[in-house]
């Protein structure tokens, strides 16, 4: 997360104020795509061994040498070997803005709820560490999501990347792609050499795409029709 945000500030000329040992290489569009691929690959492994992370977010991904991503903070991770699902019965703080609808409603966690969180993490990557659901109060989020609200496409994000995010946010868990499929998708995107993201500072720092949730709900019918055509399989 710190690396993403420093990449954002370095893009607007702050590198000149840093000491040589403080200078980092800003993230490139390919870096962001590589991060998504690495994280989805790591989550594929967790899913394969029947572990649910439950707190997948940019803040819980460490960046090692050579820009290698390491998934961390397994404090909420649970073994779901028996039935592929974990029902949370105890009270405690939970990462609401990264949680799937079924987790918010019924405290149910599966690999597919981790996929939802991964979609939010993708949004964090694309916006270089912006806070998800800007302007949305946590206590209002569930009702907004249930009504059909989803974060809109950042201006610097291609429709291809945004479609992947949206597929992670399907209401029904079975409709979301498994991590193995997401990993294969990112592999193809890395191989085709296309830039799916614009990290030009003038676009990254533009916050006009953060439309209010109510505005999006007012347009929900037309948005639903558009995305139904894009995502229906």
Catalytic positions, written as ranges: 55
3-state secondary structure of 61: strand
Closest CA to 4 of 158, 161, 187, 204: 204
Identify the CA nearest to 145 among candidates 216, 93, 94, 87: 216
Query: Is there a contact between 117 and 100 (Cβ–Cβ < 8 Å)?
Result: yes
Distance CA 64, CA 199 (A): 22
CB within 8 Å of 117: residues ≥ 6 apart: 53, 55, 56, 57, 95, 98, 99, 100
Cα 18 to Cα 202: distance, rounded to the nearest angstrom: 21
Could you tell me where the beta strands, DSSP code E, fall in 98-201? 108-109
């Amino acid at each position: 997360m710190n690396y993403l945000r420093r990449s954002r500030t370095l893009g607007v000329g702050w590198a000149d104020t840093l000491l040589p040992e403080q200078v980092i290489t800003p993230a490139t569009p390919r870096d962001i795509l590589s991060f998504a691929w690495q994280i989805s690959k790591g989550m594929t492994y967790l899913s394969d061994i029947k572990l649910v992370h439950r707190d997948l977010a940019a803040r819980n991904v460490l960046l090692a040498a050579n820009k290698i991503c390491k998934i961390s903070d397994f404090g909420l991770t649970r073994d779901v070997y028996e039935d592929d699902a974990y029902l949370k019965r105890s009270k405690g703080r939970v990462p609401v803005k990264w949680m799937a609808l079924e987790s918010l409603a019924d405290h149910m966690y599966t690999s597919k709820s981790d996929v939802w969180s991964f979609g939010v993490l993708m949004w964090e990557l694309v916006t270089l560490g912006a806070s998800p659901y800007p302007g949305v109060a946590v206590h209002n989020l569930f009702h907004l999501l249930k009504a059909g609200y989803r974060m809109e496409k950042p201006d610097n994000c291609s429709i291809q990347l945004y479609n992947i995010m949206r597929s992670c946010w399907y209401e029904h868990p079975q409709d979301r792609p498994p991590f193995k499929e997401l990993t294969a998708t990112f592999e193809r995107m890395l191989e085709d050499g296309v830039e799916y993201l614009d990290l030009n500072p003038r676009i990254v720092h533009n916050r006009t795409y953060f439309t209010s949730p109510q505005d999006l709900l007012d347009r929900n019918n037309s948005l639903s029709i558009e995305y139904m055509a894009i995502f229906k399989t």
